[in-house]
Amino acid sequence: MIKTVQLFLILLVSINTFAQQTKATQLKDAISNYDIQDSVSIKTRDGATISAMVVRKKGDVNPKPVILQYTIYVRDKDRDMRAIKESADHGYIGVIAYTRGKRFSPNEIFPYENDGNDAFDVIDWISKQKWCNGSVGMFGGSYNGFTQWAACKTMHPALKTIVPYVANRPGMGLPMENNIFINPNYEWAFYVGNNKYLDTLTGNDRQRFRKMQNKWWQTGVAYNRLDSVDGVPNKWFQRWINHPSFDNYWQKMAPYQKDFTQIKIPVLAFDGYYNDSQNSSLYYLRELQKYSPETPAYLIIGPYGHFGTQRGGEAILYDYKVDPVALFDINKITYQWFDYILKNGNKPEMLKDKVNYEVMGANEWRSAASIDKMSNDFLTLYLTTNKSGSFYTANPKKPSSSKYLSQEVDFSERRNSNNDYYPDPIIRKEIDTSNGFLFISEPITAPILINGSFIGQIKASINKKDMDFGITLYEVMPSGEYFHLSYFIGRASYATDITKRKLLTPNRMETIPFSNTHLISKQLNKGSRLLIAININKNSFSQLNYGTGKEVSTETIDDAKEPLKIKWFNDSFVKIPILK
């Protein structure tokens, strides 16, 4: 028995030794297949240093197109190296460069602020290398999506295409949405800014930031003192909070207005209906369509979240079972696109037209010539004062006389929150009716396809100078369950111009238009109804607007002595895009 065990142990050691030797050989072979420059330093025009890595196939001396990723997320030992090797495996030169201050760069880290100019300098350096044939393509998601658009702020002639996934647009979507600062970017600043790599310990400390958030909510201190509540200075947060308007600070980070006229290169973008920063990503495409309609810009979008989009979808999203046809190979399509643009290959088969979208509930892909042409009509619903069970009616006919519903919000009361708009879960059995108002339509008599972003106009008067409000759109299915379709949160004082605040006049009826809502495609079946929730935004997950007219980040619970009183008028309406 002992001898058998000894033989087994000897055999096990031999197997392990062989496995280690095989792994080492495979690693050596893998390394020998590539020429790797892992410590490249690129000087910018203003004297900063950008850290980068370059991978080429071993022995390949012919100049090739370059695939560039430009990111603040430093994972150079594994994920990043695999990604640029993959570019080499597809017949390109793989390059990854890191935001100023990251990895081996000695400079300070300020997310967003220098990436446009620095990306230009990185592309310029690449274009002058003997292994580059003069063509550069970029791809990547989230922050890496933003850096691609930032690179288009001043177009370098070597940049031939970009492939942004769920691209961020600083100042629009994050760290604020429609001029309301939201909380997730507060902790993200430490995650990317605390060191040259990633501060995963801090980034994963959910308990710390939830405690900070709840303490701020309960004590009612000013929003700009979040870092005092946290006990750790946050210089990035303080920098952002000083720019509540979409001013020059945000405008200069990426293309703005006429900057889009110079973007003539092909674009392939990916996004998701439930991507938190969808309005950032689609902003770029909408502005490109507006200022440079001849630019060939394509979009693939479906029922995905922020991270799921970057993986080609996920089978279950917020407890919702995604249509099987919605899942796709994003990596394959990305390189098909690069081959199409940079090597005169075939266009990816999935791109039937400029906008390619999966219809939730129909398990099918459709296409359209543009975002606007996804729909050909609107279903207009007025928010009436007529009761309908627990709700009020949403009626396609404009009311014949002016009436209103009254709401009062006490900001000093912290036991309850308003505006439960977040789509998790997507399908729910119950809905909060304790505050705000909900308006329900009649059952639809035939299936309809909701396609695009809802818009509308609120008529309201308040006793203060400002308010933050939310509108959420649901499908009430024949089963009685609620399917979250889309939402909007925004600040009334920026409704007509996100660059300039215009306070409301107390006790006067104001017209407050809204747009920039989340795009959706969903098949509604006969018997379904539409439900519109309208509410004041009062919760611990974002800034709290007390309505004094002062800078919102400086307001405190002392400004809550008088409750906010709102009159929601019945000629307010929501327009829902449909495809007939």
**pLDDT tens-place string over residues 358-411:** 999 999 999 999 999 999 999 999 999 999 999 999 999 999 999 999 999 999
Q: Is residue 27 situated within a structural domain?
A: no
Residue with token string 């507060």: 186
Residue 30 has a pLDDT of 52
Residue 521 has a pLDDT of 98
Asked if residue 502 lies in contact with residue 496, where contact means CB atoms within 8 angstroms, the answer is yes
476: how many CB neighbours lie within 10 A of its CB? 21
Average pLDDT over residues 556-563: 97
Residues 235-255: tens digit of each pLDDT: 999 999 999 999 999 999 999
* E strand spans, 152-250: 159-165, 176-177, 180-181
CA distance 257 to 288: 9
CA distance 549 to 456: 24
Same domain for 122 and 256? yes
Average pLDDT over residues 298-302: 98
For residue 108, what are the domain limits? 32-173+247-374
Same domain for 435 and 531? yes
What percent of the chain is modeled with pLDDT above 70?
Answer: 95
pTM score, whole prediction? 0.93
Last residue of a domain, one of 329, 346, 374: 374
Please report, for residues 146, 171, 183, 249, 552, the alpha-carbon distance to residue 241 in angstroms, rounded to integers and kept in the order given.
20, 10, 11, 11, 10
Mean pLDDT of the chain: 94
Residue 31 has a pLDDT of 55
Same domain for 132 and 190? no
Same domain for 255 and 401? no
Q: Is residue 109 situated within a structural domain?
A: yes
pLDDT confidence bin for 311, thresholds 50/70/90: very high
Q: Is residue 479 situated within a structural domain?
A: yes
Q: Is residue 477 situated within a structural domain?
A: yes
3-state secondary structure of 494: helix
Residue 173 has a pLDDT of 86
Same domain for 124 and 206? no
Same domain for 422 and 495? yes
Is pLDDT at 83 greater than 60 in this prediction? yes
Last residue of a domain, one of 222, 241, 260: 241
Same domain for 78 and 201? no
Average pLDDT over residues 83-108: 98
Residues 411-446: tens digit of each pLDDT: 999 999 999 999 999 999 999 999 999 999 999 999
Q: Is residue 512 situated within a structural domain?
A: yes
516: amino acid identity, one letter: N
Average pLDDT over residues 91-114: 98
Asked if residue 227 lies in contact with residue 234, where contact means CB atoms within 8 angstroms, the answer is yes
Same domain for 489 and 556? yes
Q: Is residue 26 situated within a structural domain?
A: no
**Tokens representing residue 375 in the block:** 């729909």
Kindly report the length of the chain.
Answer: 580
Q: Is residue 24 situated within a structural domain?
A: no
Same domain for 404 and 475? yes
CA distance 362 to 380: 23
CATH classification of the domain holding 147 = 3.40.50.1820
Q: Is residue 58 situated within a structural domain?
A: yes
Same domain for 154 and 211? no
For 563, which DSSP code?
A: P
Residues 6-55: tens digit of each pLDDT: 333 333 334 344 344 444 434 544 557 999 999 999 999 999 999 999 99
CA distance 573 to 155: 41
Residues 499-555: tens digit of each pLDDT: 999 999 999 999 999 999 999 999 999 999 999 999 999 999 999 999 999 999 999
Residue 9 has a pLDDT of 34
Segment among 13-17, 131-135, 341-345, 407-411 with least mean pLDDT:
13-17
Burial label, 91 (beta-carbon count in 10 A; 0-12, 13-18, 19+) = middle
Last residue of a domain, one of 199, 218, 241: 241
**Tokens representing residue 575 in the block:** 């327009």
Same domain for 384 and 368? no
Provide the domain count of the chain. 3
Same domain for 345 and 463? no
